[in-house]
Amino acid sequence: MCVILSANQSNIDDASLQDKECILASLNIKSMQFDDSIGVLQATSQGFTLPGIDRSSPENSPVHGGLVRQASITTGANVPIITELAPLVKAAGKVLPVISFSQDTSSGINIHIITELVNDSNVQFLDQDDDDDPDTELYLTQPFACGTAFAVSVLDSLMSATYFNDNILTLIRTLVTGGATPELEGLLAEENALRGGYSTPQTLANRDRCRVAQLALYDGPFADLGDGGCYGDLFCKALKTYNMLCFGIYRLRDAHLNTQSHTSQCTKR
């Protein structure tokens, strides 16, 4: 998780430039490439031996030419690849094939990023593939709905709503912490472990209360709406049939876009 906080430069006249540093930092992290692999030479030094190569023989040692290092690096939209090649080796009358190791890379677009914004209208610059109207309200934009953008005005709205209805704070705490109360956090801070008790009618009645849960749509009572269903039908069915209030739909990342061949992966959830 990466959290980018705003510098909050109030002396800038242009509102579009107030979040310049935060937006540029977020876009730079998304465009970064991270290498995550162990090459053949490093793996050999850690005890990994290629098939058919005798490490006790000096001529087959990786340092003495047993391996041919061939670097193939391309720029642009392609991902840099470093390849380690082993020559054909005859062992017990068999010719072993060439073994190549490609370096795996991960993109910064897979990193969970939350960016704080001072000006709500600057949310349009966070996603290059965002097709929202610049005049769209903050809570209707894709970055805010996906949880990648957070504006200072949201805290002001929460403070105002909490002043008129103190249950708003309880609802937010339940959504964020899963229902943990300050009393429970104080007990856990004193290293008091949670111990189970006896199930009595009184304790079972206390458990029959509202709670927040995440349910799967492809199986269970809502399986008929998991593929091609409408959110309105899901909301009405959950409320009328099961007395459940649906807050929203958590959309997973598209699995078919999690490949290196796609330069612009979908980060919407």
Instruction: Tell me the C-alpha distance between 210 and 204, whole Å.
Output: 13
Looking at residue 241, its pLDDT comes to 92
Whether the model clears a pTM of 0.85, i.e. scores above it, the answer is no
Residue 40 CB partners (closer than 8 Å, separation 6+): 48, 50, 62, 67, 84, 86, 99, 101
Looking at residue 264, its pLDDT comes to 45
Structure token digits, residue 267: 């980060």
pLDDT tens, N- to C-terminus, the chain (269 residues): 788 888 766 666 777 788 888 889 888 888 888 765 444 445 455 554 545 555 555 544 444 444 444 444 434 444 444 444 444 444 455 544 444 444 455 666 778 888 888 888 888 888 776 666 777 788 778 888 777 888 888 888 888 888 888 888 877 777 766 666 677 777 777 766 667 677 788 877 777 767 777 888 888 888 888 888 888 899 999 999 998 888 887 766 554 444 444 444 444 44
Burial (Cβ within 10 Å: 0-12, 13-18, ≥19) of residue 86? buried
Q: Where are the alpha helices (DSSP H) in the chain?
A: 20-30, 40-45, 142-146, 152-164, 167-177, 182-189, 201-207, 231-242
Around 66, how many Cα atoms within 13 Å sit in the side-chain half-sphere? 21
Structure token digits, residue 46: 């850690």
Give me the residue spans of the domains in the chain.
2-34+107-209, 212-253
Looking at residue 39, its pLDDT comes to 47
Looking at residue 36, its pLDDT comes to 54
